Amino acid sequence: MPVLAMRDALNQALREEMMRDKDVFLLGEDIGLYDGSFKVTRGLFKEFGEKRVLDTPIAEEIIIGTAIGAAMAGLRPVAEMMTVNFIMVAMDQVVNAAAHIRYMFGGGTKVPIVIRTPGGGGHQLGAQHSHSHENWFAHVPGLKVVAPGTPADAKGMLKAAIRDDNPVMFIENEGTYALKGEVPEGEHLVPLDKNEVKREGHDITICAHSRMLIVAMDAAAELEKEGVSAEVVDMRALRPLDMTPVIESVKKTSRVITVEEGWRSFGVGSEIAARVYEEAFDYLDAPVARIGAAEVPTPYNKRLEKIAFPARADVVVTARALLGKN
Amino acid sequence: MPVLAMRDALNQALREEMMRDKDVFLLGEDIGLYDGSFKVTRGLFKEFGEKRVLDTPIAEEIIIGTAIGAAMAGLRPVAEMMTVNFIMVAMDQVVNAAAHIRYMFGGGTKVPIVIRTPGGGGHQLGAQHSHSHENWFAHVPGLKVVAPGTPADAKGMLKAAIRDDNPVMFIENEGTYALKGEVPEGEHLVPLDKNEVKREGHDITICAHSRMLIVAMDAAAELEKEGVSAEVVDMRALRPLDMTPVIESVKKTSRVITVEEGWRSFGVGSEIAARVYEEAFDYLDAPVARIGAAEVPTPYNKRLEKIAFPARADVVVTARALLGKN
Amino acid sequence: MKVEQRPAGSQSREALSDRATLLGLYREMLLIRRFEEKTAEMYQMAKIGGFCHLNIGEEAAIVGTISALRKEDYVYSNYREHGHALAKGVGAKAVMAELFGKETGTSHGRGGSMHLFSQEHRFYGGYAIVGQALPLACGTAYAIGYRDKPEVVMSIFGDGATNIGAFHESLNVAKLWHLPVVFVCINNQYGMGTAVKRASAVTEIWKKACAYDMTGESVDGMDVLAVRRIADQLVAQARDKHEPSLLECVTYRYRGHSMSDPDTYRGKDEIKEWQGRDAILSLAAHLQKQKLASQDELQKIDEAITAEVEEAVKFADESPEPDLKDLYRDVYAGEGN
Amino acid sequence: MKVEQRPAGSQSREALSDRATLLGLYREMLLIRRFEEKTAEMYQMAKIGGFCHLNIGEEAAIVGTISALRKEDYVYSNYREHGHALAKGVGAKAVMAELFGKETGTSHGRGGSMHLFSQEHRFYGGYAIVGQALPLACGTAYAIGYRDKPEVVMSIFGDGATNIGAFHESLNVAKLWHLPVVFVCINNQYGMGTAVKRASAVTEIWKKACAYDMTGESVDGMDVLAVRRIADQLVAQARDKHEPSLLECVTYRYRGHSMSDPDTYRGKDEIKEWQGRDAILSLAAHLQKQKLASQDELQKIDEAITAEVEEAVKFADESPEPDLKDLYRDVYAGEGN
Ligand SMILES: Cc1ncc(C[n+]2csc(CCOP(=O)(O)OP(=O)(O)O)c2C)c(N)n1
Ligand SMILES: Cc1ncc(C[n+]2csc(CCOP(=O)(O)OP(=O)(O)O)c2C)c(N)n1
Ligand SMILES: [Mg+2]
Ligand SMILES: [Mg+2]
């Protein structure tokens, strides 16, 4: 199977869907002539032209709103937000419009749009370019929210998202665009509502999504050296939140760690923990341990930033503690 | 002690703080000449004039942004967002600016603003006027978030919020503006970081804030008739989230219900539940039961809307189930 | 209302002296007036809940603009849209049923007064966030160009909406991308209780088009013929040249902002003054002066409309409530619901 | 840099022929040029991280506008603000230290290149969300009026920022509320890789002021004297009459958008052409032609500035990193930190 970087897997998904369906078009800032600030749309402007790869002004409300209005008229827009932080200026379009339109109009229309955007930090971009907000979107009925952590899932979920009839928040991560992995060629679809065990184990369950999936896998590898068998569940499907593989896993391990790149309080881990207790209370030997970013606006300084985000060591140490090892 | 409606208690707090400190001013849509769409600012325009009670255009980014810039220059603005739903168009100003400015500038400045806004539904206002988002704000470092449920707390917390040096999200509720209660005259301050037992009990703990506090108190009264002694903890302080009274209570009751007006998934109850397990795991006899709004964009139809929001009966039934009563 | 009776869209100026057209305009304005009067009555009787914003006084602005459209053209509106939906051809029954929250309503009772919608009539909805629908209108207009259709989008909003960011972002791309949109500002002098001059640095809304090098026009929103004439031009310009425009209709709402508005921010005589220029009475006078219709005929039209509105109320009243088990229906598309 | 050597603010036109003023302007532009060249070098050496946006090419626009301010006036900027901070009087050491992420930086290393700040110099910060700071500038200007102070706020942003909603909302209230603000648009022809004409329906940015009935001016941003003259007028207008304005400075960034920009969207000759009109070289020629300064003197100034920048680098390099235990410091005010 060909090995691709995440950004190229995403690019391939976009290209294939644009070739498959002429109603699919892209819009966003500098996605065309500039080839995209993270190069996910590289070459598509040249190949498909400015009508199907629309460069927009710096006006996020217009990007989302145009996508919604075009979708209601039958097209399938894929909007890029340069980073999730900028969606804050267009939150009304995402929540009050995209997510609610179908229901508030009694099903009279639908809004098949995909909003692609990288979240996460770790690049010294400071307090206004480094955050994650998937927990916010996952809270909203009407939205679907996914956050793949491998190139193959990125391609398969993006293709599925473009074909889905609902607004899909497609969360990418600046820190994984260069991540390489095997990616099936052509028609490869990954469901938007299925989470998956990415590594089997029986001592402890680690739940993570997006870039934190990599961190969790690294931690699991390190734990193995210590004789700890960790099972890693990829929480790529956040809304609807597929808990099945987590519950199955807990029944084996009775210990759970959640890892997310965003702030811990009122985060993704809070919901996963609450669900685990509701659905596997009697299987738990210890409280679910939640790992998230330090609750500070991300600092610029490299060393401060480093300790502000969850790393392999945090997961390993937490796992040891949960297992009562030193 | 005088009995006041919530809106008048809030009005009194604003008036007293404006008299105490000439740097305090109000801004928002129709808060002045129109006396406020929910009449919380009634009479203040007449009394203090248009400089200190500033009517703004319909431009939420300007309302929050003006408050921030004025605060950085030394004033103490109190901004009103007509409803929390409209903050979606100004989320960037709240999160990326107000919450992060102090930290990203290394403490070089501060942003002492209060953003007052009603959340909640139940008035047939439909999908764009009925939601609650306090869980979102409570997720953000740099913000303080409170949601009082009694007129006395409303006055005391608003006065404390105005005197606080940080941006405070002050969540009100359209459904409680007419709620009456005793309100201490003059200097009455309620800390922003202390939750409180509003009703003592020993069988079960009910956590609720804002309008749901009323629902919880009603449910507790009904449960008492059935011989169930419910303790109600007012979660008025959401960030920082004061868990002390909850943990104390759980140690007595070992059963917890959380009630919120917003959607359940990734909500306030998720965080409370996760914290309860982390801090009182061994005391729990059953999973924390979370009650929240049905996960739909709020429907207009009266009967559909009614079943979409948590009511006393939901709490009572849940309590019975937790206690193994029929 | 019977769609075929509506004046056909985009006619030449001459057409506006033609009897059928004038009676059609008269009929539509009167339908809105009677419908809204009845709506107020039903609200008082608590048959209608939530926020309810009436179009009384704005009939000429609404009918003059929307009647210039064809059936295949699109309309995006705000929460003050009962009349906009009626003018675009949505039936009075379906609209009233929506206000009643019934399953037979335009939005199956899920939307209510602020969220009317009709795919069939391309009435693309009432939105309750000020300014929110302008970017959507641009998106639908983009789709029209994308598919090279001879269609137009009309985006209708209030004076207060011209001060919010979405207005600026929308007009800029409409011009930049040559979108077939006509932006219609219903300047009824107030945004809730705030007069235009207390909210906008420029009180002549049409002038705001200058920042986008866009056609800007202002018209007496109490004169349906004047409104229709300019609307015909701007709609044709959008359709034929893909040149967007901003049209300000200077008008007035006789009633409060919503049913709960104490209405203390304006003088009674100001209201009287505008009522003195009532668009419906003016057209009635014109029709009689021009011998295009007799007092008697106009009376009959009124009776027919009153009956139509009564029918709508009866229909709404007798229609079924949504089934409670359908609470979750249509949150997501393509899930067997 | 030594603040007392800066040209005093708001001088008369004549002043702009006076030697001290001209040399001051020259010195400031050169400081920015040398500082940014060094910044690029330090970025390559990985002494600086994150996004880094340079002001090279924009010196005349920056110095011409900011030098028209007094010490007590305020400046709000965006993420391309190293030179803006220097021009407002913030020391090169503190700025470079911030780029290095050191505790001695303007923001104690928490902000970095995009978030410089100085309460002392009333440099109210660099903001990394396009358009975000304009409403803040209005708020500070409101506070000035609230306290009746003879101060002014300068809000500086790029051409790309004029298409976002916050720009519209800000200019409207600035005019409506008579705020003492001068909005300065640094039109450097591109927003990242997007040329102005591909993003804005109106390419002459100053014209956008028309929608607010506001003074709009455009000036050659490569001529520091022209910029300074118009800036003096607009600052005085804001200070004395509380009349806001929009000033477009037509200029160019010689380097890419940020250090990571491949810069493939524009021709090399376009860059050459603009460099041919370099503001610093032009002023140097002018100074010599007018016999206000000799080649030799200018050489000395350059040496002094180069030394000052070297000193700044040394200071930044030797400064301590923030203490890791201070990670949570300053998240909240008034908590003993
Ligand atoms: C973003 C936003 N802010 C505030 C409101 C509350 N609100 C609803 S209607 C209205 C006034 C709008 O005035 P205008 O645009 O002139 O329309 P009109 O009601 O006069 O027809 C306001 C402030 C809202 N719905 N959305
Ligand atoms: C709201 C928002 N959208 C997008 C971005 C990403 N971005 C950063 S700078 C920039 C270009 C800004 O161009 P301009 O305003 O002309 O300023 P310049 O960089 O040319 O000085 C963009 C798109 C952002 N920071 N904020
Ligand atoms: Mg109005
Ligand atoms: Mg630029």
DSSP line for C289-312: HTTSS-HHHHHHHHHHHHHHHHHH
Question: Of the listed B129, B133, B188, B209, which one is catalytic?
Answer: B129
Contact A232, A217 (CB under 8 A): yes
Amino acid at B258: T
Question: Are B58 and C164 a contacting pair at CB < 8 A?
Answer: yes
Ligand 3: distance of its center to the CA of C159 in Å? Answer: 5
Contact A18, A48 (CB under 8 A): yes
Among A137, A195, A202, CA closest to A169? A137
Amino acid at C46: A
Ligand 3: distance of its center to the CA of C187 in Å? Answer: 5
Phi and psi angles of residue C218, each rounded to the nearest 5 degrees, phi first: -125, 145
The DSSP code for A98 is: I
Cα angle A205, A135, B278; round to 5? 50
Contacts of A141 in chain C (CB under 8 A): 331
Question: Are C198 and B29 a contacting pair at CB < 8 A?
Answer: no
| CB D205 near ligand 2, within 6 Å | no
Task: Convert the pLDDT of each residue in C10-41 to its tens digit.
Answer: 344 455 889 999 999 999 999 999 999 999 99
What is the rounded CA–CA span in Å between residue C205 and residue C243? 19
| CB D161 near ligand 2, within 6 Å | yes
| CB B82 near ligand 1, within 6 Å | yes
Neighbours of A186 (CB within 10 A): 7
Tokens 């953000």 map to which residue? Answer: B140
**Cα dihedral sign, C56-C58-C64-C67:** negative
Task: Looking at the complex, report in whole angstroms how far the Cα of residue C248 sits from the nearest Cα belonging to chain A.
Answer: 22
**What does the mean pLDDT of chain D come to?**
95
Q: Within a 13 Å sphere around the CA of D282, how many CA atoms are in the beta-carbon half?
A: 18
Contacts of A164 in chain C (CB under 8 A): 334
The DSSP code for D88 is: T
Contact B237, B169 (CB under 8 A): no
Alpha carbon separation from B157 to B270, C285, D332 (Å, rounded): 25, 61, 18
Contacts of D109 in chain A (CB under 8 A): 299-301, 304
Alpha carbon separation from A309 to A53, A122, A314, C68, C299 (Å, rounded): 35, 7, 9, 58, 75
Which segments of chain C does DSSP mark as H helices, in order? Answer: 19-44, 59-66, 82-87, 92-99, 133-146, 165-176, 224-241, 268-275, 279-289, 295-318
Contacts of A282 (CB under 8 A, 6+ apart): none
Q: Is C304 on the interface with D (CB under 8 A)?
A: no
Encode burial over C274-309: b for 16+ CB neighbours within 10 A, e otherwise. beebbbbebbbebbeeeebbeeeebeebbeebbebb
Nearest chain A residue to C108 by CA distance is: A106
For residue C14, what pLDDT is reported? 54
**Cα dihedral sign, D183-D187-D192-D195:** positive
Phi and psi angles of residue C107, each rounded to the nearest 5 degrees, phi first: -120, 25
Question: Are C322 and B304 a contacting pair at CB < 8 A?
Answer: yes
The DSSP code for A189 is: -
Contacting chains of B (3 CB pairs or more, <8 Å) are A, C, D
Question: Are B104 and A128 a contacting pair at CB < 8 A?
Answer: yes
Contact B59, C163 (CB under 8 A): yes
Contacting chains of C (3 CB pairs or more, <8 Å) are A, B, D
Task: Convert the pLDDT of each residue in A222-255 to its tens digit.
Answer: 999 999 999 999 999 999 999 999 999 999 999 9
Considering every ligand atom shown, identify the ligand nearest to the alpha carbon of residue D157 and give its number: 2
For residue C98, what pLDDT is reported? 98
Contact A196, A167 (CB under 8 A): no
Alpha carbon separation from B3 to A320, B6, B35, B183, B211 (Å, rounded): 56, 10, 22, 6, 18
Which segments of chain A does DSSP mark as H helices, in order? Answer: 6-20, 44-48, 60-72, 91-92, 101-104, 134-138, 151-163, 211-225, 244-253, 268-280, 302-308, 312-322
Task: Convert the pLDDT of each residue in D161-194 to its tens digit.
Answer: 999 999 999 999 999 999 999 999 999 999 999 9
pLDDT band for position D1 (50/70/90)?
very low
What pTM does this model have?
0.97
Ligand 4: distance of its center to the CA of A85 in Å? Answer: 20
What is the rounded CA–CA span in Å between residue B27 and residue B45? 10
Residues in chain D: 337
Ligand 3: distance of its center to the CA of C24 in Å? Answer: 26
What is the rounded CA–CA span in Å between residue C247 and residue C263? 27
Nearest chain C residue to B54 by CA distance is: C198
Task: Convert the pLDDT of each residue in D100-141 to its tens digit.
Answer: 999 999 999 999 999 999 999 999 999 999 999 999 999 999
What is the rounded CA–CA span in Å between residue A9 and residue A14? 9
pLDDT band for position C54 (50/70/90)?
very high
Neighbours of ion ligand 4 (CB under 5 A): D 158-159, 188, 191
Q: What is the 3-state secondary structure (H, E, C) of chain B?
A: CCEEEHHHHHHHHHHHHHHHCCCEEEEECCCCCCCCCCCCCCCHHHHHCCCCEEECCCCHHHHHHHHHHHHHCCCEEEEECCCHHHHHHHHHHHHHHHHCHHHHCCCCCCCCCEEEEEECCCCCCCCCCCCCCHHHHHCCCCCEEECCCCHHHHHHHHHHHHHCCCCEEEEEEHHHCCCEEECCCCCCCCCCCCCEEEECCCCEEEEECCHHHHHHHHHHHHHHHCCCCEEEEECCEEECECCHHHHHHHHHHCCEEEEEEEECCCCHHHHHHHHHHHHHHHHCCCCCEEEEECCCCCCCCHHHHHHHCCCHHHHHHHHHHHCCCC
**Cα dihedral sign, B134-B136-B137-B140:** positive
DSSP line for A248-301: HHHHHH--EEEEEEEESTTSHHHHHHHHHHHHHGGG-SSPPEEEEE-SSPPPSS
Give the torsion through C-alpha atoms of C176, C182, C186, C187, to 10 deg: 40
What is the rounded CA–CA span in Å between residue C334 and residue B261? 28
pLDDT reading at D215 higher than 80: yes
Give catalytic status of residue B202 as yes or no.
no
Ligand 3: distance of its center to the CA of B26 in Å? Answer: 23
Ligand 3: distance of its center to the CA of C244 in Å? Answer: 22
DSSP line for A71-85: HHTT-EEEEE-SSGG
Question: Are B274 and A278 a contacting pair at CB < 8 A?
Answer: no
What is the rounded CA–CA span in Å between residue A95 and residue B191? 32
User: Between D132, D136, D146, which is nearest B25 by CB?
Assistant: D146
Alpha carbon separation from D30 to B17, D62, D282 (Å, rounded): 50, 12, 12
Alpha carbon separation from B212 to B218, B222, B269, B292 (Å, rounded): 10, 15, 12, 10
Question: Are C192 and B29 a contacting pair at CB < 8 A?
Answer: yes
Neighbours of D199 (CB within 10 A): 25
| CB C52 near ligand 1, within 6 Å | no
Tokens 């929608």 map to which residue? Answer: D211
Residue B284 Cα to chain centre, angstroms: 27
Q: Token digits for D202?
A: 């109106």
The stretch B50-77 carries a mean pLDDT of: 98
What is the rounded CA–CA span in Å between residue A290 and residue A282? 19
pLDDT reading at D62 higher than 60: yes
Question: Are C333 and A102 a contacting pair at CB < 8 A?
Answer: yes
Which H/E stretch holds residue A237? strand A237-239
Considering every ligand atom shown, identify the ligand nearest to the alpha carbon of residue D189 and give its number: 4
User: Between B55, B85, B303, which is nearest C321 by CB?
Assistant: B303
**Cα dihedral sign, B188-B191-B192-B198:** negative
Contact C243, C271 (CB under 8 A): no
Question: Are B128 and A104 a contacting pair at CB < 8 A?
Answer: yes
**What does the mean pLDDT of chain B come to?**
98
Residues of A annotated catalytic, as ranges: 60, 129
For residue C8, what pLDDT is reported? 37
Contact D154, D65 (CB under 8 A): yes
Contacting chains of A (3 CB pairs or more, <8 Å) are B, C, D
What is the rounded CA–CA span in Å between residue C206 and residue C215? 9
**Cα dihedral sign, D92-D93-D94-D99:** positive
Residue C103 Cα to chain centre, angstroms: 23
pLDDT band for position D202 (50/70/90)?
very high
User: Between B88, B239, B297, which is nearest A142 by CB?
Assistant: B297
Which H/E stretch holds residue C124? strand C123-126
**pLDDT lower than 70: segments of chain A:** 326
Angle of helix C133-146 relative to helix A60-72, nearest 10 degrees, comes to 60
Q: Is D145 on the interface with A (CB under 8 A)?
A: no
- For residue D254, count CB atoms less than 10 angstroms from its CB and return exposed for 0-12, middle for 13-18, buried for 19 or more: middle
What is the rounded CA–CA span in Å between residue C290 and residue B202? 84
Q: Is the peptide bond before B118 cis (omega within 30 degrees of 0)?
A: no
Residues in chain C: 337
Strands B114-119 and B168-173, by their bridges, are parallel
Q: Token digits for C43?
A: 């609200």
Q: Is D107 on the interface with B (CB under 8 A)?
A: yes
